[in-house]
Amino acid sequence: MQMLRCGVVGLLLAVSALAQNKPAKSADFQGSSTYSYTKDPDGSENVSIRNIAFDVTDAGIPGRPADQRLVLRKTTTSKRTVTDIGEEATVTLEAWPLGTDLHTKPLYTLNIVGTDGHRVESALFVADRGLEETEWWSVYRLGDGKHLFETYLPLVSFSISRETLEMRYVGLQIAEDDEKDARLKKADVVGVLTYASANKVIRELLITSDDPKQAPQLRSMADETRTLTMINATKGKVPSYSVRLTFANSAPFAANPIEVVIPVQGDDLDVAHAQLPAHLHVATFQR
């Protein structure tokens, strides 16, 4: 009888161990990519492509539970005539908590006119909006899909802390002719410089010129080249950064570069100590 009890106890312990080690319920999903080619009677060649890509983030996504990871499904579709400039293209991003059945409604869905997109760390999703000759990007929060800002230069990122990663992001929006905001359509406006965290826009600065010939030159997409970089002047334990925006004439003209340098102080752009070339001005801008 004692041996029988021992055997039953051992069996129960074994069953309990198996139950504890049982794999979690699976969450499988299959998506298909497609390619289509057609040729019109006039000889035009048309290509349509649909690609699906899956991704899993790290934990620590701003705005989400600290230990939560997200599954991202990115769908890109494009249609173009191979001899023409530009294309019709969209990017769709859907997000679910890791382990969720992807047949259920996602946390959010982004439908963006653009050619592609990528995540930056586990903080942002950056969509490539340049369908024709102008390159530009839209920046969204990865945690909830909320739009943060636009940039016409590749996103610049850096950490304001040497001990932990406290990422900050900088972009530049150039004022275009079809801009809907009347304030950005003024003749003296060059663009808007944005300084942001993964959660919010911290500061936007409106760049203007009191030279009526300089402003259209600096915002020209064809005749001007712009670069955005960070200057790291850190000495010791306290980080020291400045945002450097450089304007230069495009080839074949002489570059004649000019620079706008704005220090980062107290997790903000220090307008009071900005270094500005002749005729240029910066001021706080609010959407």
What's the pLDDT at 101?
Answer: 94
H helices of the chain, where?
2-20, 214-218
What's the pLDDT at 62?
Answer: 94
What's the pLDDT at 130?
Answer: 82
For each of the chain's 287 residues, which pLDDT tens digit applies? Answer: 444 344 433 434 343 433 333 334 555 666 688 999 999 888 889 999 999 999 999 999 999 999 999 999 999 999 988 877 778 899 999 999 999 999 999 999 999 999 999 999 999 999 999 877 788 999 999 999 999 999 999 999 999 887 778 899 999 999 877 788 899 999 999 999 999 999 999 999 999 999 999 999 999 988 999 999 999 887 766 678 999 999 999 988 899 999 999 999 989 999 999 999 999 999 999 98
What's the pLDDT at 4?
Answer: 38
Paired residues of 148 in beta bridges = none
Q: For 105, how many CA atoms within 13 A lie in the half-sphere containing its CB?
A: 2
What's the pLDDT at 22?
Answer: 38
- How far apart CA 216 and CA 191 sit, in angstroms, is 10
Residue with tokens 């959010």: 108
Cα 245 to the center of its chain, rounded Å: 19
- 9: alpha, beta or left, given left = phi > 0 and alpha = psi -120 to 50? alpha
What's the pLDDT at 29?
Answer: 65
What's the pLDDT at 9?
Answer: 39
3-state secondary structure of 6: helix
